[in-house]
Structure 1
Amino acid sequence: MEAERDKTLWKIAKKRVAFKRHVSSYLVVNAFLWALWYFNSTYQSHYSGLPWPAWVTLGWGTALAFSYYDAYHARHDAAAAREYEKLTRKKNS
């Protein structure tokens, strides 16, 4: 049982580290895109509408939110373990 718990904790730890790397990439890339847009738009005086980096920021931000949920709030393993225990008790009774 202890070895199984260690595997679960290791899996959660890996998801959290992956999320933190995802955040770092998100911040660096989006800062670059917004800077690129800003310095490019200073030469264009006829700008109107939503800046194009907003689409990247919103889309990637949505994926980042799902990654956050999966790393810190998802309890899929716990639900599967409860269901397994329930089926085992039902089979043995």
Structure 2
Amino acid sequence: METQHTNTPRDPQLWELAKRRASFRGHLVTYLIFSAFFWLVWFASNGPRYNSGLPWPVWPMLGWGIGVLFHYMGAFVAPKTNNVEREYQKLLAQRDHE
């Protein structure tokens, strides 16, 4: 099935939001694939028999997971948070009240 293309211009804010969300999905898939790979390496290298506390794959998953969480927040929770735009609007409001 082909999609129909229209000649209407893209809304720049919606386009930016779409790019953020697509980027997040790619980041999440990469994180999951590498996490599975880390656990396979740990398991294949006799990790379960080497009892020294937490398995090492926990640490890269934790660190990278924090990055994934922030990426999610920027794409879905607070996507319209744009510090430059907010600061510009404040300056405009200050100028108009002078």
On whether the aligned pair clears a TM of 0.5, the verdict is yes
Higher RCO, 1 vs 2 (CA within 8 Å, ≥6 residues apart): 1
Aligned-residue offset at 1:80: 2.9
- Tell me the equivalent position of 2:22: 17
Q: Where do 5+ consecutive residues of structure 1 fail to align?
A: none
Q: Distance in 2 between matches of 1:91 and 1:68?
A: 35
Q: 1:14 to 1:46 in 2, by over 3 A?
A: closer
DSSP-derived class of the 1:76 partner: coil
Q: Does 1:65 align with 2:98?
A: no
Q: Secondary structure at the match of 2:49?
A: coil
Determine the C-alpha separation between the residues in 2 that align with 1:47 and 1:34. 15
Taking structure 2 as the reference length, the TM-score comes to 0.73
Q: Deviations over 1:1-54 (max 9, x none)?
A: xx7x81111111000000000000001011011011012126x73422111110
Residues 79 and 72 of structure 1, relative CA distance in 2, 3 Å threshold? farther
Distance 1:46 1:57 in 2: 19
Amino acid at match of 1:77: N
The one-letter amino acid paired with 1:20 is R
Q: List alignment gaps of at least 5 residues for structure 2.
A: 1-8
CA RMSD of aligned residues (A): 2.6
TM-score (norm 1): 0.77
Alignment of 1:68-79 (within 5 A): 68-74=72-78, 75-77=80-82
